[in-house]
Amino acid sequence: MTVRDRLSRLRLPAFAAPMFLVSGPDLVVACSRAGIVGSFPAPNLRSSAELGDWMGRIAGQLTADDAPWALNLVTHSTSPRLPRDLEQVAEHQPPIVITALGSPKPVLPTVQAYGGLVFADVISVDLAKKAADAGVDGLVLVCTGAGGHTGDLSPLVFVERVRRFFDGYIALAGAITTGEAILAAQVLGADFGYLGTAFIPARESMASDAYKQMCVDSSAGDLMVTRAFTGARASMLKPSMVARGLDPAELEFKVARMNFTGRQDETVKPWSGIWGAGQGVGKIDRVESAAEIVDRLAAEYDAARLRTRGLCA
């Protein structure tokens, strides 16, 4: 069965999005067993060898009956690990590779050679066009309200503009935390909802208990979008800044230099303990298993489909 066949049989048209320091093998396996695409980012590992270990663990626990899983690679020009990570990719063959913060070009030959699919994570129509021209199989359109590195386009605009030139897969990201929102993404012309924040409080996530509880206790008003931590616009929880003794008001307009070399830039404040989330955070009211989250999303999705049938009559 091809990866495309497996994507057409998902229980729910959704990805659990890759999240730095949050998604690891347990979450990937739990999501894929629950019937949605599970994923994790390579920078969660310090070396390419460890990345290979994680991919081996995941591949060893999943079967062709489970949903396909995805690896997220940072292709930014300052990321020195990419060639060695790609060797591991060729060996372990993740069904889907999602590129972020750089061009998908260096990844395409390796992944498409073994029948894998490449999705590029983009925040603008220009970047979407470049990735489409490079030959990606799918695009992740990151819109306003998304957690972590966020976008500023409305999904109402972004999908329509990209569908004018791209007929591959589209996964839509940004504050999607309900089954209704997944259905809305499909109505707009996307194929999948791409959900990060909704899975931070999953029992299988690597987020600390304090981080999970902060998600339960927070709502959209507790977020700030700032370039102070990574150099790119990121949606972060203000209470986590306050807990580290930082003043959110002072950080709002600071800009860090983007750096994926693995070396700490002396001019950048250490940002461990500063936690990201998107505007859907207000929907989170408990810590539960990934399977329970997917069950709830699937029930909401099915109910929304039934409820809206009349609109199309």
Ligand X SMILES: Cc1cc2nc3c(=O)[nH]c(=O)nc-3n(C[C@H](O)[C@H](O)[C@H](O)COP(=O)(O)O)c2cc1C
By C-beta, is 68 or 276 nearer to ligand X? 276
Check residue 256 and give left, alpha or beta (phi > 0: left; psi -120 to 50: alpha).
beta
Please identify, using beta-carbon distances, which residue of 30 and 313 lies nearer to ligand X. 30
146 binds ligand X (CB under 6 A): yes
Q: CB of residue 292 vs ligand X: minimum separation in angstroms?
A: 17
Q: In angstroms, what is the minimal distance from the CB of 73 to ligand X? A: 9
- List, in sequence order, the alpha helices (H) in 11-99: 25-34, 48-61, 82-92
Closer of 64 and 194 to ligand X (Cβ):
194
Shortest distance in whole angstroms from residue 4 CB to ligand X: 22
> What character string, x for contact with ligand X (CB under 6 A) and - otherwise, covers 271-290?
-----xxx-x----------
Nearest distance, CB of residue 166 and ligand X, angstroms: 18
Rounded to whole angstroms, the Cα distance separating 149 from 9 reads: 29
**Which residues, 6+ apart, have CB-to-CB distance to 184 below 8 Å?**
none
In angstroms, what is the minimal distance from the CB of 123 to ligand X?
Answer: 9
Residues 5-24 that bind ligand X (CB under 6 A): 17-20, 22
Distance CA 175, CA 185 (A): 11
Q: For residue 182, which of 64, 308, 68 has the smallest C-alpha distance?
A: 308
> Quick check: 104 and 89 in contact, CB under 8 A?
no
The answer to whether the CB of 256 falls within 8 A of the CB of 268 is yes
Rounded to whole angstroms, how far apart are CA atoms 114 and 91? 10
**Using CB under 6 A, which of 58, 71, 117, 142 touches ligand X?**
142
Q: Which stretch binds ligand X (CB under 6 A): 108-116, 122-130, 138-146, 183-191?
A: 138-146
Closer by beta carbon to ligand X, 36 or else 64: 36
Smallest CA-to-CA distance from 39 within 95, 105, 109 is with 95
Would you tell me which residues interact with ligand X (CB under 6 A)?
17-20, 22, 41, 43, 72, 100, 121, 142, 145-149, 173-176, 194-197, 276-278, 280
